[in-house]
């Protein structure tokens, strides 16, 4: 059962096509991360869902009903704004009670609802504070409370964490995820931060230049990116251009532009120009040449080392001049130096081939 | 190189004093001392009709004011100012909303419409109002056309209120729109998202947040109309007695200076008092809002009671509004009544906004239109086209003399006050010295004090030196005002000045003076140019203070046309006024080019 269905929705500003024929379904109770670089159309899509924009083309259904032309106040959605948009002239209580008063609930119920939601977001006792007396993280949670207290069918979050510092962002992220699961509310979470999207989402929808690129679980979009863009945008990737060539027994062969040949999984069939994606963590560094066991092994030298504590990144250069990124996890300090001659290897199955089109 | 600490600290004390002193001398001699003297004189005994003063302490002048007649004058002035404020708010708010929301070309045009009247001489504007509101003016002609009886707006209080509203509404519009423009647009969206209609979002979010602009604008308009002289004098035809007219009459006609001084002090105290009460009241009403849900520092019991009351009030209102919903569902008639407003609402508001914008600007083109009228009667619409009132200016030597006097004064004011004012603004912005805020408010105080009070204070002061109706006397008066404007304008352009630029220049080896010439001065140049334009306009247009201290052959142009209008409309005056309006328009264009209209601040 889908709570939100976006069907062939397009929206343009003058000449610029901000959302280009997007079709997307969001399951009831699921948290969907809408991920993309700035200007990809994700905020426009969110504003279409909230009712602040009307699409040029296409239909938006919520709970099976057409809401395409409903004004924001008539929609079963609540939006958590990027800058929170808390009313500075009202107290915490009045901010949360704002929508309940418009619903004309009796005051007794309003008090109870506000109390309950403040308990959920963990800010009981702040009712009489003014918004300016709250920290950024607290304001964020009040904004969430104000949206949730309306018991919307769909919760929309527009980059809700981007105004918080790095540490608080991780903390609040977990908090939002916990509340979302506890309340069981269908949520759409817009972000440009891939780590945020991976960690919090049930499914991720990747957008680029107004198009929906890929939709899938975090594991799917990371391990099986369907495009160069998705591979590049989510996580770190080595992307090598070339083409697939058939090879009888030992599996597929990928031929780089430089002429270098790389083994890939046998079920990959011949095709035109394409890209080979290898994640840095799938490549192993060896001091001595390892035994050939069907793996890709190649000599190379270290061009640069970035030490980040839990992980160390090596930029290595192959004899055929291709540059690759390799990551190595572990606490032991590296003995390797820039300029060292080493060997790298990876199994053919670690390589993912994406057809160019 | 050894560091000489003592030399540095010596310099630090010496430089701001040197920068401030030229300006401070002007403000002290031309403003501070005269106002103190005015206050002292108000406690002396005057001999009516003689201009003599008995220097003995008495409170008789104040006691005399407590009298049915004078109290009525005070009350009338208060009433006119309150009506003007309310009318300005009601008419100005919708325009402020358009101004805040508009962008690009529309915004520039709107700003020009709002700002041109502010830069135009008040006599010229009031002349426009005399034409608009006159017995044969466009409004009465329109009333005639739709078969309604004509209204005698002028002379009378109704005309004064409409006139003052027209004159001062731009201040209200600019205060409110500057607050509205800074309200985060997403707050309105948040209200919509939480279920508010567009109108509901306005009343619950935008309007309360615009309160600071309303308060500031109301204070501006109230104070300006409470203490204005020219507009009530001309639109009241001399028959509607207000506080400023009382001061003028006592000082200039009855020559009872101590009593005039006492009335001036009362005017000042009442306006300061009302401002304080108003500010306190609006501040506490905000606190009251907080108290609704238990305010923070309130005692427990009171908190409980006020919370209970607020809950009860909400539930009661809720019941009423739900009943209304039920009725409007059951009875389609109510719905039918609502619909024309829902569909016509936007159109009605747009029309209303357009009418007010026309009202703000229309007196000015009407003056220009009348100046080309062929007949000597000021009729609307004009009957024929002629340049004779323009050529006529040169046949009346008194106008030419007044023009030359005003021009000399204005040019001298620009040279002197731009120098002294810029130096003072630099000292105030760059150096931290004891009493800096006091010095700043001293410089700006001539702008806060009603012009009538500055006028009567200076009159009394100049008499001592025999400087009344002399060039140097008027120059001193104008310099006080123009210096204040220059300090204010240059200061505001120094506020956004990144002082690390100066540090960078010094770090690269520039001396302090070289840094000033090559970095500071070029960066604040736009501010200085605008300050110079202001100084010219303020001096050339200055009317109220000058009325008190000019006379004989030394009469400035605005005072000349004001005196002429006291006796009635004169077509030559329309020609001169048209030139003054043209001057304001040119000044605005230059400011727009140099500074940009958006940055133009009224404070």
* Among A214-218, B48-52, B307-311, the least confident range: B48-52
Residues in contact with A345: Cβ distance below 8 Å, sequence separation at least 6, in sequence order: A283, A284, A286, A290, A295, A296, A297, A298
Residue B562 pLDDT greater than 90, yes or no:
yes
> What is the token pair recorded at B529?
């140019």
Residue B598 pLDDT greater than 70, yes or no:
no
Is B226 within 8 Å of B76 (Cβ atoms)? no
For B104-128, give the DSSP string: HHHHHHHHHHHHHHHHS-HHHHHHH
For A28-134, strand residue ranges (E) read 31-35, 57-62, 65-66, 77-80
Chain B: residue whose CA lies nearest to A150: B194
Residue B41 pLDDT greater than 50, yes or no:
yes
H/E element, A261: strand A261-263
Nearest to B208 among A83, A86, A89 (CB): A89
Query: Which pLDDT score, from 0 to 100, does residue A281 have?
Result: 92
Distance CA A286, CA A295 (A): 13
Is A77–B193 a contact, with Cβ atoms under 8 angstroms apart? yes
Q: Per-residue pLDDT averaged across B253-277, rounded?
A: 90
Bridge partners, A327 (sequence order): A313
Residue B379 pLDDT greater than 80, yes or no:
no
* Among B324-338, B394-408, B422-436, B445-459, the least confident range: B324-338
The segment with the largest mean pLDDT, out of B72-81, B177-186, B270-279, is B72-81
> What is the token pair recorded at B316?
């009661």
Mutate to test the interface with B, among A52, A78, A103, A128 (most CBs of B within 10 A): A128
Instruction: Tell me the three state secondary structure of residue A14.
Output: coil
Distance from the Cα of residue B534 to its chain's centroid:
14
> What is the token pair recorded at B101?
């929301």
> What is the token pair recorded at A191?
């972000």
HSE (side-chain half, CA atoms, 13 Å) at B467: 16
Residues in contact with B14: Cβ distance below 8 Å, sequence separation at least 6, in sequence order: none
Instruction: Tell me the three state secondary structure of residue B342.
Output: helix
For A81-177, strand residue ranges (E) read 154-158
User: What are B's interface residues with A at a Cβ cutoff of 8 A?
Assistant: 184, 186-187, 189-197, 200, 204-205, 208-209, 211, 286, 289-290, 293-296, 311, 314-315, 318, 321-322
Beta-carbon contacts below 8 Å between A and B: 86
For residue B491, give how far its alpha carbon lies from the nearest alpha carbon of chain A (Å): 30
Query: Which pLDDT score, from 0 to 100, does residue A336 have?
Result: 83
Chain B: residue whose CA lies nearest to A110: B311
Q: Does A150 touch chain B (CB under 8 A)?
A: yes
* Among A22-31, A90-99, A174-183, B503-512, the least confident range: B503-512
Is B101 within 8 Å of B118 (Cβ atoms)? no
Is A153 within 8 Å of A63 (Cβ atoms)? yes
Q: Per-residue pLDDT averaged across B152-174, rounded?
A: 92
Chain A: residue whose CA lies nearest to B308: A107
> What is the token pair recorded at B218?
């109301």
For residue B210, give how far its alpha carbon lies from the nearest alpha carbon of chain A (Å): 10
Q: Report in angstroms the alpha-carbon separations of B220 from A201, B440, B542.
A: 55, 20, 19
Burial code (b: 16+ CB inside 10 Å, e: under 16) for B391-421 equals ebeeeeeebeebbebbeebbebbbebbbebb
pLDDT (tens digit, 9 = 90+) per residue, B312-330? 888 888 888 888 777 766 6
The segment with the largest mean pLDDT, out of B88-92, B295-299, B446-450, is B88-92
Bridge partners, A66 (sequence order): A61
Query: Which pLDDT score, from 0 to 100, does residue B298 have?
Result: 47
Q: What percent of chain B has pLDDT over 90?
A: 44
Residue A157 pLDDT greater than 70, yes or no:
yes
Q: Does A83 touch chain B (CB under 8 A)?
A: yes
Nearest CA among B321, B252, B280 for reference residue B459: B252
Query: Which pLDDT score, from 0 to 100, does residue B263 have?
Result: 95
Start-to-end CA span in chain B (Å) = 46
Q: Does A125 touch chain B (CB under 8 A)?
A: no
Residues in contact with B422: Cβ distance below 8 Å, sequence separation at least 6, in sequence order: B486, B490, B524, B528, B531
For residue A22, give how far its alpha carbon lies from the nearest alpha carbon of chain B (Å): 23
Query: Which pLDDT score, from 0 to 100, does residue B163 have?
Result: 94
Q: Per-residue pLDDT averaged across B83-87, rounded?
A: 97
Distance CA A191, CA A207 (A): 11
Residues in contact with B95: Cβ distance below 8 Å, sequence separation at least 6, in sequence order: B110, B114, B173, B177, B353, B356, B357, B360
The segment with the largest mean pLDDT, out of A98-102, A293-297, A309-313, B476-480, is B476-480
Distance CA B406, CA B537 (A): 10
pLDDT-derived band at B49 (thresholds 50, 70, 90) equals confident
Distance CA B261, CA B258 (A): 5
Radius of gyration over every alpha carbon of chain B, rounded to an integer in angstroms: 27
For residue B544, give how far its alpha carbon lies from the nearest alpha carbon of chain A (Å): 41
Cβ-in-10-Å burial (0-12, 13-18, 19+) of B378 comes to buried
The three-point CA angle B421-B427-B429 to 5° equals 100
Residue B601 pLDDT greater than 60, yes or no:
no
The three-point CA angle A161-A187-A226 to 5° equals 85
Nearest CA among A16, A81, A9 for reference residue A45: A9
Quick one: angle between helices B571-594 and B557-567, nearest 10? 140
Q: Report in angstroms the alpha-carbon separations of A213 from A53, A231, A238, A271, B540.
A: 22, 11, 19, 21, 68
Residues in contact with B86: Cβ distance below 8 Å, sequence separation at least 6, in sequence order: none
Q: Report in angstroms the alpha-carbon separations of B594 from A327, B106, B474, B587.
A: 57, 19, 30, 11
Q: Report in angstroms the alpha-carbon separations of B190 from A219, A295, B440.
A: 34, 57, 42
To the nearest whole number, what is the mean pLDDT of chain B?
A: 85
Residues in contact with B80: Cβ distance below 8 Å, sequence separation at least 6, in sequence order: B157, B160, B161, B164, B225, B232, B242
**Residues composing chain A:** 357
Distance CA A127, CA A145 (A): 12
Is A83–B186 a contact, with Cβ atoms under 8 angstroms apart? yes
Query: Which pLDDT score, from 0 to 100, does residue B339 have?
Result: 56
Mutate to test the interface with A, among B180, B184, B186, B193 (most CBs of A within 10 A): B193
Distance CA B183, CA A116 (A): 31
Query: Given the DSSP bridges, would you call strands A31-35 and A186-191 parallel, antiparallel or unpaired?
Result: parallel
Is B194–A88 a contact, with Cβ atoms under 8 angstroms apart? no
For residue B317, give how far its alpha carbon lies from the nearest alpha carbon of chain A (Å): 10
Q: Does A95 touch chain B (CB under 8 A)?
A: no
Quick one: angle between helices B436-448 and B5-27, nearest 10? 20
Distance CA B29, CA B461 (A): 9
Q: Per-residue pLDDT averaged across B466-489, rounded?
A: 93
Is B455 within 8 Å of B545 (Cβ atoms)? yes
Is B257 within 8 Å of B458 (Cβ atoms)? no
Mutate to test the interface with B, among A43, A73, A142 (most CBs of B within 10 A): A73
> What is the token pair recorded at B482?
């123009």
Quick one: angle between helices B157-181 and B211-226, nearest 10? 150
Is B194–A99 a contact, with Cβ atoms under 8 angstroms apart? yes
Q: Per-residue pLDDT averaged across A211-240, rounded?
A: 92
pLDDT-derived band at B12 (thresholds 50, 70, 90) equals low
**Residues composing chain B:** 603
pLDDT-derived band at A357 (thresholds 50, 70, 90) equals low
pLDDT-derived band at A32 (thresholds 50, 70, 90) equals very high
Q: Does A71 touch chain B (CB under 8 A)?
A: yes
Chain A: residue whose CA lies nearest to B293: A128
pLDDT (tens digit, 9 = 90+) per residue, A304-352? 998 888 888 999 999 888 999 999 887 565 678 888 899 999 998 888 8
Burial code (b: 16+ CB inside 10 Å, e: under 16) for A315-330 equals ebebeeebebbbbbee
> What is the token pair recorded at B395?
């046949």
pLDDT (tens digit, 9 = 90+) per residue, B346-363? 788 888 889 999 999 999
> What is the token pair recorded at B485?
């404007």
Distance CA B480, CA B458 (A): 11
Is A341 within 8 Å of A295 (Cβ atoms)? no
Residue B293 pLDDT greater than 50, yes or no:
no
Query: Which pLDDT score, from 0 to 100, does residue B120 have?
Result: 92
Residue B181 pLDDT greater than 80, yes or no:
yes
Residue B344 pLDDT greater than 70, yes or no:
no
| Residue B81 backbone phi and psi in degrees, to 5 | -65, -40
Nearest CA among A351, A164, A340, A196 for reference residue A265: A351
For residue A175, give how far its alpha carbon lies from the nearest alpha carbon of chain B (Å): 22
Query: Which pLDDT score, from 0 to 100, does residue B300 have?
Result: 66
Is B195–A73 a contact, with Cβ atoms under 8 angstroms apart? yes
Cβ-in-10-Å burial (0-12, 13-18, 19+) of B496 comes to exposed
For A236-253, give the DSSP string: --EEEEEEEE--SSS--E
Is B186–A98 a contact, with Cβ atoms under 8 angstroms apart? no
Chain B: residue whose CA lies nearest to A155: B193
Query: Which pLDDT score, from 0 to 100, does residue B282 have?
Result: 73
Query: Which pLDDT score, from 0 to 100, does residue A331 have?
Result: 59
Query: Which pLDDT score, from 0 to 100, does residue B552 have?
Result: 81
Is B193–A72 a contact, with Cβ atoms under 8 angstroms apart? yes
For residue B94, give how far its alpha carbon lies from the nearest alpha carbon of chain A (Å): 21
Distance CA B218, CA B175 (A): 9
Q: Does A104 touch chain B (CB under 8 A)?
A: yes
Q: Per-residue pLDDT averaged across B155-163, rounded?
A: 93
Q: Does A2 touch chain B (CB under 8 A)?
A: no
Is B578 within 8 Å of B147 (Cβ atoms)? no
């Amino acid at each position: 059962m889908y709570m939100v269905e976006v069907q062939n929705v397009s929206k343009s500003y003058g000449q610029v096509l901000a959302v280009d024929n997007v079709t997307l379904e969001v399951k009831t109770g699921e948290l969907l991360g809408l991920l993309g670089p700035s200007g990809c159309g994700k905020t426009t899509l969110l504003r279409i869902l909230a009712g602040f924009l009307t699409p040029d083309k296409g239909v938006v259904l919520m709970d099976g009903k057409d809401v395409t032309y409903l004004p924001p106040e008539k929609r079963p959605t609540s939006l958590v704004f990027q800058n929170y948009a808390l009313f500075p002239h009202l107290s915490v209580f009045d901010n949360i009670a704002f929508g309940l008063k418009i619903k004309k609930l009796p005051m007794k119920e309003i008090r109870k609802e506000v109390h309950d939601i403040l308990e959920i977001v963990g800010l009981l006792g702040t009712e009489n504070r003014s918004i300016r007396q709250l920290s950024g993280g607290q304001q964020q949670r009040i904004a969430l409370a104000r949206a949730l207290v309306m018991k919307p069918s769909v919760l929309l979050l527009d980059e809700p964490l981007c105004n918080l510092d790095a540490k608080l962002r991780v903390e609040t992220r977990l908090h939002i995820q916990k509340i979302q699961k506890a309340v069981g509310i269908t949520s759409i979470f817009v972000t440009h931060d891939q780590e945020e999207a991976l960690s919090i989402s049930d499914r991720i929808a990747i957008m680029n230049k107004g198009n929906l690129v890929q939709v899938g679980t975090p594991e799917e979009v990371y391990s099986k990116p369907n495009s160069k863009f998705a591979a590049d945008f989510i996580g770190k990737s080595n992307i090598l251009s070339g083409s697939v060539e058939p090879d009888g027994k030992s599996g597929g062969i990928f031929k780089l532009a430089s002429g270098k040949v790389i083994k890939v999984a046998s079920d990959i069939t011949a095709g035109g120009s394409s890209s080979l994606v290898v994640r840095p963590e799938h490549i192993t560094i060896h001091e001595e040449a390892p035994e050939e066991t069907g793996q890709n092994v190649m000599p190379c030298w270290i061009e640069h080392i970035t030490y980040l504590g839990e992980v160390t990144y090596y930029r290595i250069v192959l004899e055929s001049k291709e540059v690759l990124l390799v990551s190595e996890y572990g606490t032991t300090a590296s003995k390797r130096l820039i300029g060292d001659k080493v060997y790298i290897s990876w199994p053919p199955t670690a390589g993912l081939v994406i057809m160019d089109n | 190189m050894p560091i000489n600490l003592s030399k540095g600290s010596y310099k630090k004390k010496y430089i701001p004093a040197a920068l401030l002193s030229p300006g401070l001398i002007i403000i002290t001699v031309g403003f501070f001392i005269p106002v103190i003297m005015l206050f002292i004189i108000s406690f002396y005994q005057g001999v009516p009709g003689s201009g003599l003063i008995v220097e003995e302490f008495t409170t008789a002048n104040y006691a005399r004011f407590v009298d049915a007649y004078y109290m009525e004058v005070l009350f009338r002035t208060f009433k006119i100012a309150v009506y003007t404020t309310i009318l300005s708010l009601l008419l100005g708010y919708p325009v402020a909303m358009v101004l805040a929301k508009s962008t690009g070309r529309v915004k520039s045009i709107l700003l020009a419409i709002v700002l041109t009247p502010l830069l135009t001489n008040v006599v010229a504007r009031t002349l426009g109002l005399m034409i608009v509101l006159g017995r044969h003016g466009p409004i009465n002609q329109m009333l005639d056309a739709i078969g309604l009886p004509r209204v005698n707006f002028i002379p009378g209080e109704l005309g004064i209120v409409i006139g003052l509203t027209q004159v001062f509404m731009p201040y209200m519009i600019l205060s409110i729109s500057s607050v509205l423009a800074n309200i985060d647009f997403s707050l309105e969206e948040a209200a919509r998202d939480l279920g508010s209609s567009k109108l509901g979002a306005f009343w619950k979010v935008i309007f309360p947040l615009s309160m600071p602009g309303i308060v500031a604008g109301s204070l501006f308009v109230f104070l300006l109309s409470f203490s204005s002289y020219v507009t009530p004098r001309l639109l009241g035809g001399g028959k509607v007695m207000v506080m400023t007219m009382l001061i003028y009459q006592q000082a200039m006609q009855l020559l009872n200076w101590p009593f005039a001084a006492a009335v001036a002090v009362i005017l000042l105290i009442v306006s300061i008092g009302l401002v304080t009460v108003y500010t306190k009241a609006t501040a506490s009403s905000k606190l009251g809002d907080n108290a609704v849900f238990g305010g923070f520092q309130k005692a427990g019991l009171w908190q409980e009671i006020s919370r209970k009351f607020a809950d009860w009030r909400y539930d009661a209102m809720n019941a009423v509004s739900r009943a209304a919903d039920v009725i409007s569902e059951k009875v389609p008639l109510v719905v039918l009544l609502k619909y024309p407003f829902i569909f016509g609402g936007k159109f009605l508001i747009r029309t209303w906004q357009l009418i007010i914008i026309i009202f703000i600007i229309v007196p000015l083109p009407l003056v220009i239109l009348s100046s080309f009228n062929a007949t000597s009667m000021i009729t609307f619409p004009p009957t024929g086209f002629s340049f004779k009132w323009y050529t006529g200016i040169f046949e009346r030597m008194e106008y030419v003399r007044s023009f030359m006097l005003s021009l000399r004064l204005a040019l001298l004011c620009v040279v002197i006050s731009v120098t002294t004012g810029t130096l003072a603004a630099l000292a105030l912005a760059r150096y931290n010295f004891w009493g800096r805020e006091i010095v700043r408010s001293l410089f700006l105080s001539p702008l806060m004090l009603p012009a009538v009070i500055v006028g009567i204070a200076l009159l009394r002061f100049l008499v001592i030196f025999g400087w009344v109706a002399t060039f140097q006397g008027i120059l001193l008066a104008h310099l006080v005002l123009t210096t204040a404007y220059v300090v204010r304008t240059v200061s505001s352009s120094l506020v956004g000045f990144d002082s690390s630029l100066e540090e960078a220049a010094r770090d690269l080896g520039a001396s302090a003076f070289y840094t000033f010439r090559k970095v500071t001065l070029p960066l604040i140049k736009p501010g200085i140019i605008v300050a110079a334009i202001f100084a010219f306009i303020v001096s050339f247009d200055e009317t109220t203070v000058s009325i008190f201290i000019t006379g004989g052959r030394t009469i400035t142009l605005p005072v000349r046309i004001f005196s002429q209008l006291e006796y009635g409309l004169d077509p030559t005056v329309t020609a001169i006024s048209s030139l003054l309006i043209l001057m304001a328009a040119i000044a605005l264009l230059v400011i727009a080019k140099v500074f940009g209209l958006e940055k133009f601040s009224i404070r």
